[in-house]
C-alpha cells in the first residue's frame, strides 16, 4: 500500500471520510517524512505541535460529519504567508524574528476548512528568484537528481515544490508573480496553478508586486489542485482587488470531456534554440489534446518578446514601493547604529544588512525606473506594452480560443550554482513562458508531461480565459491522464 504521506489529497479525503484513516496518523506520517528530509531544506519552520492539535480537531470534525474536503489534510505553507504566532519572514533576514499577530486570508481559509499546517516552506527571498538560491535559509534542494548532483527545485516557491514532490505534505501553498508556482512545479514533476488575478485574496501575503502577485496550490495531481484551489479562493473585503465572484466547485467540473475545445498554439513561444526535448514535449501535448477531441489552432501573440523586459520594469517598480516598509521601525531587523547615526543611517544600514543581493538589485532598479526623468521612458512605457500583451490574449480568446498550450519552462531543473557567474538577466529568462500570463492577469497551470534524457521532469503550461479556472483544470486533467506521468524521484535524502 502507498505510504500515507504519499497519498493524493483526493484519496486521503475519501479514506478520512470513510473512517479508514485518521488525520492524526496521516499528519504523523508527514511529520516523520519531514524529519527525515532535512537535506532537502524544504520546511524551514516546523510546527509539529500545532499540526497534531489541528489533526485531532480535524478527526473530531470528521467524526461529527459534514467536514469539508480538506479537513484533516496536512499541507505546507510558503513562508510568504503570514501565519499567526508562527515565524513568517519571506525567507529574508530583514524579517528575522517576525511573528505575525494575524493570519493571511488564504491560510485562514485553509485552516478553517480543516487543513493541517505542518510548517513554513522555503522560498526565494521576497519571492524574487527562479532557483530558491536567494533564501536566507539556504537553498532548497530538488528531490529529483541527475548524475548525483543537487538541482534547484525552481523558484520562488522552491520549498513548496520540493516538499510536494518528496511526499512531505499532500499539498502546499505557493505564490506566483512571474512564474513562481508554475516553474518550480515543472522542475519537480508536480502540478501548480496560478488562478486569475483577483481570485485569491492577497491580504496577509508579504507583497512583492501587487498587480502581479497571486496565490495558488501546488499538488501532485490536477484533481488535488482543483480541491485545494477552491478552498483558497473567494472574495475578501480586506483586498480591494479581490473579485466578488462565486467560486465554482472546480472538482465537480472535471468532466474529462474536452471535445470541441479550441486549443491555441502560440507561434511566438517557439524560441530560437529551444531544446528538441521541449519541442517534442510540446507537440506531443498538442497531439494528446487533439486525440481527446480538441481542435488545435495556430495563434499569434505578437508582443510575447516584450513580456520579460516589461515585467522586469513593472515588478521591480512595484517591489521598490512595497519594500519601502522594511525600515527597521515596526518589525524585523534593525541594524546596530554607530555614534551619531541618525534615522537615515538607520534605514540605510538596516536595509543593506537585511536585504540580500537580488532583492537589493530589484529595489534599486525599481527606484531607478520610477525616478524623475525616467518614469515615462521605462515605467509608463512598460505599462503600455503590458496593455498590448493583454490585448494579444484578448484577441485570441475573442477568436474562440478556449485555452493556450505552451511549454512551462525553457529547460529542466538546472544545477544549483549554475547561474552564479551569469548576469542577472540569464536567470530572468527562466520565466519567459510564464511572465506574460501574470502581465495579463490570466489563470495558468503547469503539469508534468514527460522526462528529459537525464530522467528529469518536464512540464507543459495551459493558459485559460479569465475566471475560467474550471475549464482550464478540466483540460489539464485530460492532458494529465493522456501524458500518464507517474514517475517519482528515487529517495536519496
Query: Restricting to residues 2-31, which ones interact with another protein according to CB under 8 A?
Result: none
By CB under 8 A, name the one of 131, 177, 196, 434 that touches another protein: 196
Measured from the CB atom, is 53 or 364 closer to another protein?
Answer: 364
320 an active-site residue?
no
Q: Distance of CA 86 to CAs 82, 97, 109, Å?
A: 8, 10, 16
Q: CB 41: neighbour CB atoms within 10 A? A: 21
Measured from the CB atom, is 144 or 208 closer to another protein?
Answer: 208
By CB under 8 A, name the one of 2, 283, 300, 380 that touches another protein: 380
By CB under 8 A, name the one of 18, 49, 148, 240 that touches another protein: 240
Contact 200, 235 (CB under 8 A): no
Per rule CB under 8 A, is residue 288 in the interface with another protein?
A: no
> In this structure, are strands 403-407 and 262-266 parallel, antiparallel, or unpaired?
parallel
| Torsion sign over Cα 459, 460, 465, 471 | negative
- Smallest distance, Å, CB 137 to another protein? 19
| Range 195-217 burial, b when 16+ CB lie within 10 A, else e | bbbbbbbbbbbbbbbebbbbbbb
Measured between its terminal Cα atoms, the distance across the chain in Å is 22
By CB under 8 A, name the one of 282, 397, 428, 485 that touches another protein: 428
DSSP 3-state of 81: strand
Cell of 342: 541618525
- Smallest distance, Å, CB 352 to another protein? 4
By CB under 8 A, name the one of 363, 401, 435, 458 that touches another protein: 363
Per rule CB under 8 A, is residue 381 in the interface with another protein?
A: yes
Q: Which stretch binds another protein (CB under 8 A): 111-119, 226-234, 363-371, 449-457?
A: 363-371
Per rule CB under 8 A, is residue 321 in the interface with another protein?
A: no
Please identify which of the residues 23, 130, 156, 160 carries the catalytic annotation. 156
Q: Distance of CA 123 to CAs 187, 188, 436, Å?
A: 14, 14, 22
By CB under 8 A, name the one of 63, 305, 325, 491 that touches another protein: 305
By CB under 8 A, name the one of 150, 331, 451, 454 that touches another protein: 331
- Find out whether the peptide bond into 156 is cis, omega within 30 degrees of 0: yes
Per rule CB under 8 A, is residue 346 in the interface with another protein?
A: yes
Contact 74, 33 (CB under 8 A): no
180 an active-site residue?
yes
Cell of 180: 513562481
- Smallest distance, Å, CB 406 to another protein? 20
What is the edge-to-edge ordering of all strands in the sheet holding 116-121? 43-46, 116-121, 74-78, 171-176, 214-219, 191-194, 444-451, 457-464, 403-407, 262-266, 295-299
Per rule CB under 8 A, is residue 208 in the interface with another protein?
A: no
Query: How many C-alpha atoms does 21 have within 13 Å on its Cβ side?
Result: 23
For helices 469-483 and 222-232, angle between their N-to-C axes, nearest 10 degrees: 160
Name which of residues 129 to 168 contact another protein (CB under 8 A): none
Measured from the CB atom, is 231 or 382 closer to another protein?
Answer: 382
Measured from the CB atom, is 14 or 348 closer to another protein?
Answer: 348
- Smallest distance, Å, CB 259 to another protein? 29
Measured from the CB atom, is 370 or 418 closer to another protein?
Answer: 370
| Range 438-463 burial, b when 16+ CB lie within 10 A, else e | bbbbbbbbbbbbbbbeeebbbbbbbb
Per rule CB under 8 A, is residue 197 in the interface with another protein?
A: yes
Q: Which stretch binds another protein (CB under 8 A): 129-137, 247-255, 301-309, 476-484?
A: 301-309
Measured from the CB atom, is 71 or 215 closer to another protein?
Answer: 215
Per rule CB under 8 A, is residue 37 in the interface with another protein?
A: no
Measured from the CB atom, is 365 or 403 closer to another protein?
Answer: 365
Per rule CB under 8 A, is residue 224 in the interface with another protein?
A: no
Q: Identify the DSSP state of 491.
A: P
Please identify which of the residues 23, 135, 180, 201 carries the catalytic annotation. 180
Cell of 74: 496536512
Question: What residues are labeled active site?
Answer: 78, 156, 180
Amino acid at each position: 500500500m502507498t505510504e500515507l504521506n504519499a497519498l493524493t489529497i483526493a484519496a486521503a479525503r475519501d479514506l478520512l471520510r470513510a473512517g479508514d484513516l485518521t488525520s492524526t496518523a496521516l499528519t504523523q506520517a508527514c511529520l516523520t517524512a519531514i524529519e527525515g528530509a532535512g537535506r532537502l531544506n524544504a520546511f524551514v519552520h516546523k510546527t509539529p505541535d500545532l499540526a497534531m492539535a489541528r489533526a485531532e480537531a480535524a478527526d473530531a470534525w470528521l467524526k461529527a460529519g459534514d467536514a469539508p474536503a480538506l479537513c484533516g489534510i496536512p499541507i505546507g505553507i510558503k513562508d510568504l504567508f503570514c501565519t499567526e504566532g508562527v515565524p513568517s519572514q519571506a525567507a529574508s533576514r530583514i524579517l528575522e524574528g517576525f511573528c505575525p499577530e494575524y493570519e493571511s486570508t488564504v491560510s485562514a481559509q485553509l485552516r478553517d476548512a480543516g487543513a493541517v499546517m505542518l510548517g513554513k516552506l522555503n522560498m526565494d527571498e521576497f519571492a524574487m528568484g527562479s532557483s530558491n538560491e536567494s533564501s536566507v535559509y539556504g537553498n532548497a534542494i530538488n528531490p529529483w537528481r541527475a548524475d548525483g548532483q543537487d538541482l534547484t527545485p525552481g523558484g520562488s516557491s522552491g520549498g513548496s515544490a520540493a516538499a510536494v514532490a518528496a511526499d512531505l505534505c499532500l499539498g502546499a501553498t505557493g505564490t506566483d508573480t512571474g512564474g513562481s508556482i508554475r516553474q518550480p512545479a515543472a522542475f519537480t514533476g508536480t502540478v501548480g496553478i496560478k488562478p486569475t488575478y483577483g481570485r485569491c485574496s492577497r491580504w496577509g501575503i508579504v507583497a512583492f508586486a501587487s498587480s502581479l502577485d497571486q496565490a495558488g496550490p501546488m499538488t501532485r495531481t490536477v484533481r488535488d489542485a482543483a480541491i485545494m484551489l477552491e478552498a483558497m479562493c473567494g472574495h475578501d473585503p480586506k483586498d480591494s482587488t479581490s473579485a466578488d465572484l462565486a467560486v465554482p466547485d472546480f472538482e465537480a467540473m472535471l468532466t474529462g470531456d474536452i471535445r470541441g475545445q479550441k486549443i491555441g498554439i502560440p507561434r511566438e513561444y517557439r524560441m530560437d534554440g529551444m531544446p528538441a526535448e521541449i519541442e517534442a514535449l510540446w507537440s506531443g501535448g498538442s497531439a494528446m489534446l487533439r486525440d481527446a477531441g480538441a481542435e488545435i489552432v495556430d495563434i499569434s501573440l505578437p508582443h510575447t518578446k516584450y513580456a520579460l523586459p516589461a515585467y522586469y520594469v513593472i515588478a521591480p517598480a512595484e517591489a521598490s514601493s512595497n519594500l519601502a516598509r522594511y525600515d527597521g521601525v515596526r518589525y524585523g531587523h534593525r541594524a546596530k547604529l554607530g555614534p551619531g547615526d541618525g534615522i537615515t543611517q538607520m534605514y540605510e544600514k538596516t536595509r543593506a544588512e537585511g536585504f540580500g543581493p537580488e532583492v537589493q538589485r530589484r529595489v534599486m532598479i525599481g527606484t531607478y525606473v520610477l525616478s524623475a526623468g525616467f518614469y515615462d521612458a521605462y515605467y509608463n512605457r512598460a505599462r503600455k506594452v503590458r496593455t498590448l500583451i493583454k490585448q494579444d490574449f484578448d484577441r485570441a480568446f475573442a477568436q474562440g480560443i478556449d485555452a493556450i498550450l505552451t511549454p512551462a519552462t525553457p529547460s529542466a531543473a538546472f544545477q544549483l550554482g549554475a547561474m552564479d557567474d551569469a548576469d542577472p538577466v540569464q536567470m530572468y529568462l527562466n520565466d519567459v513562458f510564464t511572465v506574460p500570463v501574470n502581465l495579463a492577469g490570466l489563470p495558468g497551470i503547469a503539469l508534468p508531461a514527460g522526462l528529459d534524457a537525464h530522467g528529469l521532469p518536464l512540464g507543459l503550461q495551459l493558459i485559460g480565459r479569465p475566471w475560467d479556472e474550471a475549464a482550464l483544470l478540466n483540460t489539464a486533467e485530460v492532458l494529465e491522464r493522456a501524458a500518464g506521468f507517474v514517475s517519482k524521484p528515487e529517495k536519496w535524502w
